[in-house]
Amino acid sequence: MSDSERHPYVVLLDRIIAAAEAGDAADLYNVYADDAVIWHNNDNREQTVERNAKVLEAMPRFVSDRRYTDRQVQVFDGGVVQQHVLRGVNVESGEEVALHACVVVRVNEEGLITRLDEYIDSGEAAGFGPASRRTA
């Protein structure tokens, strides 16, 4: 296990991943600061932890067997960057889907996430939603 894998910031990411894989957002409220902001490049919108939790809890309706692979983590002063691939099975089609992503996370002095910026491929993200949202 490398030093970055034991770092408290990486443990925060581990907890987010565990919540996403389980489709249970309860622990998110212990990982994020009360006023934390989550931003996504694909829609250029910020969301609250509460809104992010609702999205995470809805994900099992669209993608089963969610798992994070190919994690690469770099800790920096005040935060952490993670590249990963979120994999799963589209519930409607039964097809394997993959979403390459990168998150940049800022952590406050209390050890809580204050901001998470997520960069994803919007084309790959379409496979993680209902067929009505996908384009040909």
Check which CATH number belongs to the domain holding 22 and give it: 3.10.450.50
pLDDT at residue 134 tops 70: no
**Rounded average pLDDT over 46-55:** 95
Give the pLDDT score at 135.
Answer: 46
Lowest-confidence pick of 7-16, 56-65, 69-78, 119-128? 119-128
**Mean pLDDT of all residues in 117-132:** 83
CA angle 123, 68, 28 (to 5 degrees): 100
Answer yes or no: are the C-beta atoms of 36 and 118 closer than 8 Å: no
Q: Which two tokens stand for residue 130?
A: 């209902």
Q: 31 by DSSP, 3-state: which?
A: helix
DSSP for 42-109? TTTEEE-HHHHHHHHHHGGGTEEEEEEEEEEEEEETTEEEEEEEEEEEETTT--EEEEEEEEEEEE-T
How far, in Å, CA of 58 to CA of 73, rounded?
27
Residue 4 has pLDDT above 90, yes or no: no
Q: Report the number of distinct structural domains present in the chain.
A: 1
Q: Which domain holds residue 19?
A: 3-133
The mean pLDDT of the chain is: 91
Judge if pTM exceeds 0.85. yes
Please give the average per-residue pLDDT across 37-51, as a whole number. Answer: 96
